[in-house]
Amino acid sequence: MEAVTSPVASDVVVVGIAAAGAASGADADQGASAAPVVVAPGLEGEATAALATLARSVGAATKVGSTTRVPAPAGVPGGSVVLVGLGEAGDEISDETLRRAAGAAARACRGLGSALVLLDAERAEAVALGAGLGSFRPAKVTAKDGVNNNDDDEVGPDALRVFTGEGSTDAVSRGDTIAQCVGLARDLVNTPPNLLFPGSFADRAAELGREAGLEVEVLDETALTAGGFGGILAVGGGSSRGPRLVRLTHRGGEGRPTVALVGKGVTFDTGGISIKPAAGMEQMTMDMGGAAAVVATVILAARLGLDVTVVATVPMAENMPSATAYRPGDVLTMYGGTTVEVQNTDAEGRLILADAIVRACEDSPSHLIDTATLTGAQMVALGKRTPGVMGTEDFRDRVSELSRSVGEGGWSMPLPEELRDGLDSEVADLTNVTPHRWGGMLSAGLFLREFVANGVDWAHIDVAGPAYNDGAPEGYLPKGATGVPVRTMLAVLEDIAAQG
């Protein structure tokens, strides 16, 4: 991605259009609609007027993210133009609208050569981020080329240029960096489970961490056994590919806050002995979406040089049924000594998270965020685009607000005390599920709360739906892995760095 201070010749030029409202004068008498308002900083008035006329003549849609490709009129430095909708002209164009529009436009430019994006020079970061997210290149596995082959019609523009005018080009660089790290999380989630399993995931995370200058620690099955990580070992015990625990640390300055990030890394989830239905099980390759987001976020913290210490603790396991798998009825001794009665082996994510949370709290963080594709109940309660955020009330609300500010839509959810009794066990300290199906997302949050150290501001982000888009691409969201909640966690880290 390149920042440009003047409109340079490109194969395709992206401009915005917004609905202008009702026509007036002769056009109104003839029933014609008003020409849309063209948003194209850097272009002369004659060029924008020609684009407005052209947009009206072809009936270009102005709905946010809609795209229409037309020939470039005189004065536009390209062979064609992608008109992207920005909504109503009278409405304030938000950063999220710019991100969605830029993402949709970048996807529409696939296979068209170089693209120049003219949307908002003063908010170039939002434009660059949206365009970068929208031009994400999904990896493929082919017989000819192996992993990471990309067909021409699957990639973004050959060169992506974002117009900044007299604004700072650093904004484009920052937007591009964030988009790259979100893309990293997406690639990890999209990798097939025969290629991304606990050992290979740990190796990849460690490699990425060292490249970013992070401190790296990897615990294999032997080290996990010696350390007493009963939850991770139980969940990973049914697989021939043993579990791992990866720790990646970015150091801020002396005396700066320490923030712990924990992400669920179940590289494939069959449900174990409590096996899932076959239909749709192939999507369980995304059950390490929380881990991927955490790995990407700590790398992003390093690349942006955030002045806050970030410690990522990432448990990785494959939940498989076998003669060595853990069973309903087992009692596990977790890291730290809490015992848990297993009533359902498909409630495995909370078990590996519990071990990791206790370990993360040993670093005495001021704040802890865990994230996971944890419960189907999240989608029942909030749908597929809205993460549920639970935890310490003030910090929960802070995380939710920041999540909404970056367009990831986090929503605060309660942890009702009346649900806590359902986690009591007659043979252990806790059970891993309640005896009823009510409030499943909230009960999972209550379970995790038991493992958070006193005094730590904590937030749990359930992204069971938002981490993976099984529908058509929309805005800057591709089909498949979305990278949610990387940008939420980045916003929280920057807020803590600024305010504590």
> Could you check whether 2-168 and 190-499 share the same CATH topology?
no
Amino acid letter, 386: T
66-75 per-position pLDDT tens digit: 999 999 999 9
Sequential pLDDT tens for the chain (500 residues):
999 999 999 999 999 999 986 544 444 444 456 899 999 999 999 999 999 999 999 999 999 999 999 999 999 999 999 999 999 998 889 999 999 999 999 999 999 999 999 999 999 999 999 999 999 988 877 766 565 545 444 445 778 999 999 888 999 999 999 999 999 999 999 999 999 999 999 999 999 999 999 999 999 999 999 999 999 999 999 999 999 999 999 999 999 999 999 999 999 999 999 999 999 999 999 999 999 999 999 999 999 999 999 999 999 999 999 999 999 999 999 999 999 999 999 999 999 999 999 999 999 999 999 999 999 999 999 999 999 999 999 999 999 999 999 999 999 999 999 999 999 999 999 999 999 989 999 999 999 999 999 999 999 999 999 999 999 999 999 999 999 999 999 999 999 999 99
Q: Is 244 considered catalytic here?
A: no
Nearest to 357 by CA among 189, 231, 479, 256: 231
Give the closest residue to 249 by CA, choosing from 196, 295, 186, 318. Answer: 295
pLDDT at 34: 82
What gap in Å lies between CA 48 and CA 16, rounded to an integer? 10
State the residue for tokens 């929503």: 411
pLDDT at residue 21, rounded to an integer: 66
How many other C-beta atoms lie within 10 A of the C-beta of residue 397?
15
Chain-centre distance for alpha carbon 431: 30
> In the structure encoding, which two tokens stand for residue 199, read together?
């050992």
| CB 1, CB 133: distance < 8 Å | no
Domain boundaries defined on the chain = 2-168, 190-499
Give the HSE-up count for residue 101: Cα atoms under 13 Å, Cβ half-sphere. 30
Single out the residue of 438, 446, 445, 439 nearest to residue 420, CA to CA. 446
pLDDT of 26: 45
CB 293 within 8 A of CB 301: no
pTM of the model: 0.95
Which pLDDT belongs to residue 149?
47
Residue 276 annotated to the active site: yes
CATH superfamily for domain 190-499: Zn peptidases (3.40.630.10)
Q: Which of 107, 123, 244, 350 is catalytic?
A: 350
Which is the catalytic residue, given 137, 276, 303, 384?
276
State phi, psi for 338 to the nearest 5 degrees.
-65, 140
Phi, psi of 368 (to 5 degrees): -140, 130
pLDDT tens digits, one per residue of 339-362: 999 999 999 999 999 999 999 999
Distances in Å between the Cα of 230 and the Cα atoms of 76, 340, 341, 353 are 63, 10, 12, 11
The identity of residue 354, as a single letter, is A
What CATH architecture does domain 2-168 belong to? 3-Layer(aba) Sandwich (3.40)
